[in-house]
Structure 1
Amino acid sequence: MVPPFIVQAGMSTEDYQQKNSHYVKKRIDKQPAGLNFYEYRWPVKENGQVRVEAGNASFVIPNVLSTVGILDAERPEAGIYDFGINSGFTSEEFIEHDLARTTMMNHLNSLIVAGWKPYYRYFSSPRLLGKQSFEFAIEDGFYSPDPTYTPTLEEWMKLEFGGVWSFYYQDNFLEVSFDRNSRFLKATEPGVYLVTHKLISRDEKGRSLYQGEERDKWQSLWSETVKEYKSKRYEKEVELIQQGYRINTRYVEPKIHPDDPVEPDNVDELLAIIEQHAIE
């Protein structure tokens, strides 16, 4: 059997080529903007396997269609910092929606067991758990709900634009998401899904908050940016508290910048309200 295709956030191009030497049809697309795309597509009906290397939290993705890694030619020392892996839930095109639901939730649970921790993005994302997190995700398609909560089939189908769950483990950040073919949306009939795993390095996670030239200055800009985002998060949480939500104050932020955890000033009143409505 051909071994799994190996991806690792920040891996060097040499490691990429060596560890995947069995895959001779790998393609490198070099763009004028300075980004090189390392691509591999499996032949039709020959879906492959990708192993995500992350120490003790490594895992294998089955039924893979393609994978693309990104390297900044001006920063080769950062390695291939971003990988996107597209797959299906099964080797078949169609799958019952309820089976897609349980397959996804079982996969997310296996990630948690392996050591991946849920991640609340800094973009003012409120720290919610359980059913409340999923209800909020239905309203806000960019929100990452609690991966330990298994939605009902009705809730699952309400994720109109698909769902996204975010995790971190040491220097690795992972998003697991799906897209659902809009032509097959009846819950009682099979659907078609595309599952995407996006793996990025810690450095790229910090840089991703910025555009253009600011990306290279992210470490000097980080503290003020995070203070602004966290202030918005706390304001949103207080707003949601008034609607009956409770807040997961036990959440531990990942350390992205050496100064983390960064906290904003003048939010004592907001934090006091949040603590009064924290999940026990």
Structure 2
Amino acid sequence: MRLLSFKAVILAVIVAIVFILFQYTQQENKSMSTPQNVTLHFDQQGIKDFNTYTGGDVDIQPAGMSFFDLDWTPPDLGSVNIAHENHTLTLDNAFSVLGNSKNNNVSKGIIGISINASLNKAEFVEPKEAYLAYKELLTQINQQGWQQYYAPYASRISKQDNLRSIKQFNEVTDPSYILSYEEWSGLFNSNPDQSLYYNLYLDGIIVIITVDRTEINEIGQEQYMLRFAFNTAGYTGVNLIEGGSKLEGAALKQAYEDMIKLSLTSRLKKELDLQEQGYTIDESYETPDFWEYMK
């Protein structure tokens, strides 16, 4: 077998380098072409929004999901407006957004939006600056009207045990309560694995927010990362049912009602255990009925 000539090898190397540079340029152009400020909706309007910003680029997976992504390259991070009903939540310092829809139910449009972001624009900031950004985010969330959400199977730990729940489970039970600077610092400085986990609901949309301190540099400046996972109540309700995506009409409604009954039974068992540990349960809380969004 003849060996490749020196010229052929050089040519192959050049082609490989050109290909790598092309891919890199394409990725850079994609990031650069994403507007600094975007507004995203759910349902069919959400599909139109993503198509506007991506030029119709969509990742269609054989498993039945389609994904739409937006990316920004530091230091030029994105500002994302999540709009639904008459509400708009503005999230700054975004690195990436991933929207998703079901291939077999196109009429539902965008059913979920995930966002990765930094708490602050700068990579590292002074501890007080990080705290003030947290305070600003929580103030906006409360002004928008987002409320505590417990899934049907989740224990309803009361607001009065908010700090204890955060320390033991990382779970916030009173989103209306903004930690003081001393409480914020004490939590993250005393536990390297500390997170703040919010589970919120507003007019047919659920959002899980996670706040993590990811690094401290050599001069004591801090870095915090945020993750927002939005899902429609309709999609969440169907997902709570085993095989729910294959059901519709009366069968789906019956399965949803059965799931609620089983979940509430499971919830009560968990709550009894927590009460034995000294936790107080918010028995007045009722999980929203998602059936109207699932039809």
Q: Give ranges in structure 1 of 5+ residues lacking alignment.
A: 260-280
- Of residues 222, 240, 255, the one that matches 2:274 is 240
Report the counterpart of residue 179 of structure 1 in structure 2.
Answer: 212
> TM-score, length-normalised on structure 2?
0.74
The separation in 2 between residues aligned to 1:42 and 1:26, in whole angstroms, is 18
C-alpha displacement of 1:156 = 4.1
3-state SS of 2:207 partner: strand
- Aligned with 1:178: secondary structure? strand
Q: What SS does the corresponding residue of 2:235 show, helix, strand or coil? A: helix
Residue 195 of structure 2 corresponds to 162
- Determine which structure has more spread, i.e. the larger CA radius of gyration: 2
Tell me the TM-score normalised to structure 1 length.
0.77
SS at 2:43 equivalent: coil
Structure 1's 51 and 67: CA in aligned 2 closer, same or farther, altered over 3 A?
Answer: same
Matched with 1:267 is none
Q: Kindly tell me: are residues 13 and 241 of structure 1, through their superposed partners in 2, closer, same or farther at Cα, counting changes over 3 Å? A: closer
Kindly indicate whether residue 153 of structure 2 is the aligned counterpart of residue 123 of structure 1: yes
**Which residue is 1:4 aligned to?**
37
Q: Which amino acid aligns with 1:108?
A: L
The equivalent residue for 1:214 is 244
Mapping of residues 20-59 of structure 1, within 5 Å: 21=52, 23=53, 27-59=57-89
Distance in 2 separating the partners of 1:134 and 1:208: 30
State the shift of 1:51 in Å.
0.5
Structure-2 change in CA distance of 1:27 and 1:138 (3 Å): farther
1:230 to 256, 261, 264: 264
Q: Kindly report the root-mean-square deviation, in angstroms, between the aligned alpha carbons of the 2 structures.
A: 2.8
Give me the whole-angstrom Cα distance separating, in 2, the residues matched to 1:227 and 1:185.
50
Residues 1:166 and 1:37: Cα distance change in structure 2 (over 3 Å): same
- Equivalent in the alignment of 1:136: 165
1:76 and 2:106 correspond: yes
**Measured at CA, do residues 85 and 26 of structure 1 come closer, stay the same or move farther in structure 2, by a change above 3 Å?**
farther
Contact 1:173 1:199 in 2 (8 A): yes
Q: Which residue of 2 aligns with 1:92?
A: 122
1:193 and 2:221 are equivalent in the alignment:
no
Higher share in helix:
2
Structure 2, unmatched stretches of 5+, are: 1-34
| 1:97 CA displacement | 4.2
Is the partner of 2:281 in helix, strand or coil?
coil
